[in-house]
Homo-oligomer: A and B are copies of this chain.
């Protein structure tokens, strides 16, 4: 399904790899980090709720959530939107508090045909509560109304203020396990509920993640450990990690990766040192005409992961048309666009390797629920492994709290 290949010229020691397996095993045993359990989630409740609700009556899902509450769903939906299971329900994201974006989102949105998912782990995210208030106002919905109960679902921590609000008002709630952080939560109801509504087979999504989990805990994923060791040990010399995905389908996966990597690893570590790795998400072939020049001729401070998808959901052929004066482009005639983009991926990788930039390749046979689940868990595990080696708390985000306090003070003064 997915093949990976490291092309680093580096010696790895068995003992370092074993130690990493141990550290993660300990972390799992501690019970403090819940995302490891998500591939075995029970989705009965999600499916039963949707069945009972009657999804045929809605045309839209509005996701009110930001950061970890939206990026994972966006990532997986973009990976799979051309696959056969995707139905025609629209997912609308209320993320930014940019007024123009909110107005655009509401244009033509029919309340009666929409299910609103309010997603916030803490419950009190200022963006999400502001969106909620504005939507209530726009459609003139009172909190105590039946319309509210019928068209809203809360996804939050048990006993959070949002949970209590839902309890008071009789709104359906799904819980994010307490020990699962927002950016690791896509395989919880946070992602599973909207993705199920959109038609995807969420059991296969979990099965894809489980496949990697099982193989990792059987200690059969030495390559993943090596990659983490390489990234962490090179954090000073190679502080930039590029993900170069050769299909537009990875657009939001890149954003999800950027959040996961930056927010998990950018930390004052347990020795008091500021550490971190800078993630960059690129899309090929587009970014061959942009960032690639910096990879090839810029400072050797980067690693590059190439992602290639062998089989596209749809494929089309470059017609055998010879354009006068442009005959030198005829070499690609009669080939499929998928062949072109994949050959570009290979050619770019070769040109990067020639510059002694460390590269690894992830080759996905086809984008489906299973491979998407696998890719999510692959990057979550890689993040946990690298975090261990950087000696950081991978799962918190203390640095973003100060801004929130300053914000509140600005309005209270």
Contact with B along A292-314 (1 / 0, CB 8 A): 11111111111000000000111
**Chain B nearest CB: distance from A171 CB in Å?**
11
**Could you say which residues of chain B place their CB within 8 Å of the CB of A284?**
96
Contact A274 B290, CB 8 Å, known A124-B329, A312-B100: no
A270 within 8 A of B: no
- Complex Cα–Cα for A239 and B400 (A): 22
A278 touches B126 (CB 8 A): no
Q: Specify which of B103, B162, B240 is in contact with A314 (CB 8 Å cutoff).
A: B103
- Residues 92-108 of A contacting B (Cβ, < 8 Å): 95-103
Contact with B along A352-364 (1 / 0, CB 8 A): 0010000000000
- Residues 124-162 of A contacting B (Cβ, < 8 Å): 124, 126-127, 129-130, 132-134, 136-137, 143, 161-162
Interface of A is mostly: helix
Contact with B along A67-81 (1 / 0, CB 8 A): 110010000000000
Contact A98 B293, CB 8 Å, known A136-B319, A266-B298: no
A276 within 8 A of B: yes
Contact A316 B403, CB 8 Å, known A130-B332, A133-B321, A397-B293: no
A9 within 8 A of B: no
Minimal Cβ-Cβ distance residue in B for A335: B411
**Chain B nearest CB: distance from A235 CB in Å?**
8
- Complex Cα–Cα for A348 and B97 (A): 15
Q: Specify which of B258, B338, B403 is in contact with A290 (CB 8 Å cutoff).
A: B258
B262 touches A294 (CB 8 A): yes
Number of interface residues of A (CB under 8 A): 114
- Complex Cα–Cα for A323 and B301 (A): 49
- Residues 56-92 of A contacting B (Cβ, < 8 Å): 66-68, 71, 82
- Complex Cα–Cα for A96 and B289 (A): 11
Minimal Cβ-Cβ distance residue in B for A98: B248
B410 touches A343 (CB 8 A): yes
Contact A165 B326, CB 8 Å, known A100-B82, A133-B318: yes
- Complex Cα–Cα for A288 and B96 (A): 10
B262 touches A276 (CB 8 A): no
Minimal Cβ-Cβ distance residue in B for A333: B133
A137 touches B344 (CB 8 A): no
- Complex Cα–Cα for A340 and B407 (A): 9
**Could you say which residues of chain B place their CB within 8 Å of the CB of A346?**
406, 410
**Chain B CB within 10 A, most for which of A97, A280, A301, A314:** A97
- Complex Cα–Cα for A255 and B251 (A): 12
B411 touches A326 (CB 8 A): no
Name 25 A/B residue pairs within 8 A (Cβ), A-sorted. A98-B249, A98-B312, A99-B315, A100-B314, A102-B337, A126-B329, A130-B318, A136-B319, A136-B321, A161-B326, A165-B324, A168-B324, A182-B289, A239-B239, A262-B293, A265-B294, A266-B296, A278-B302, A288-B400, A296-B399, A296-B402, A331-B412, A344-B407, A347-B406, A348-B403
4 closest A-B pairs (Cβ-Cβ)? A67-B289, A266-B294, A276-B298, A296-B399
